[in-house]
Chains A and B, each alone.
Chain A
Amino acid sequence: DGGITQSPKYLFRKEGQNVTLSCEQNLNHDAMYWYRQDPGQGLRLIYYSQIVNDFQKGDIAEGYSVSREKKESFPLTVTSAQKNPTAFYLCASSPRSGIWNEQFFGPGTRLTVL
């Protein structure tokens, strides 16, 4: 089955620790995205990548880092510099590069920083 997987579903970390969220897709999509969603808020774009070995900052990139070494993988690291990391993190992919195309989401990771 083709799709987007994110792991883990729930993640708990202590304040001050870096944590990496996994996102994998086997849809052969060119573009991948990371968002965070806070209660009562719209999704906000953290980073996106339109091609392997290239990525751009979104609206709220501070305190986050990404890599795109393989087309199917786009991991997100939440660093200790992120002031409010507790949130629902969603990864998405899009068939074509260019950020004006439809996106398909993975099931998300709920990160709680204690």
Chain B
Amino acid sequence: RKEVEQDPGPFNVPEGATVAFNCTYSNSASQSFFWYRQDCRKEPKLLMSVYSSGNEDGRFTAQLNRASQYISLLIRDSKLSDSATYLCVVMGDDKIIFGKGTRLHILP
């Protein structure tokens, strides 16, 4: 099993729809989890941290499921500007592992 896995997509979603991404990780001792978005040929930008209790920021909701070892990102009422690649990051045991990213295309 890879250390961190994401569905590469692309996800082609109509504007206004809800879309969800998952990211699985293999190290049960992982401590910190984040979602970043990366636009084409740009640097990653922090979207949100992920906690077991869930974390919501406007249209975005992130969740951690330690038992099943995955994190999720839900985007509601998607906008054209949400088109990007979404990266999950898992940290722990002195390691920082980035997923390869899931590409999202919001269609008008």
Contacts and interface: CB of A to CB of B under 8 A. Distances in A.
Contacts of A100: 31-32, 91-92
Given A107-B42, A108-B43, A45 B96 contact: yes
A41 B4 CA distance: 12
Interface residues of B, number: 22
A96 B100 CA distance: 26
B4 A102 contact: no
Interface residues of chain B: helix, strand, loop or mixed (majority): strand
21 contacts: A41-B100, A42-B100, A43-B44, A43-B98, A45-B96, A48-B96, A58-B96, A88-B41, A90-B43, A90-B44, A99-B91, A99-B94, A100-B32, A100-B92, A102-B34, A102-B46, A104-B46, A105-B43, A107-B42, A107-B43, A108-B42
Nearest to A40: B100
Contacts of B44: 43, 90, 105
Interface of A: 33, 35, 40-45, 48, 58-59, 88, 90, 99-108
A43 B98 CA distance: 6
A101 B49 CA distance: 9
Contacts of B94: 99
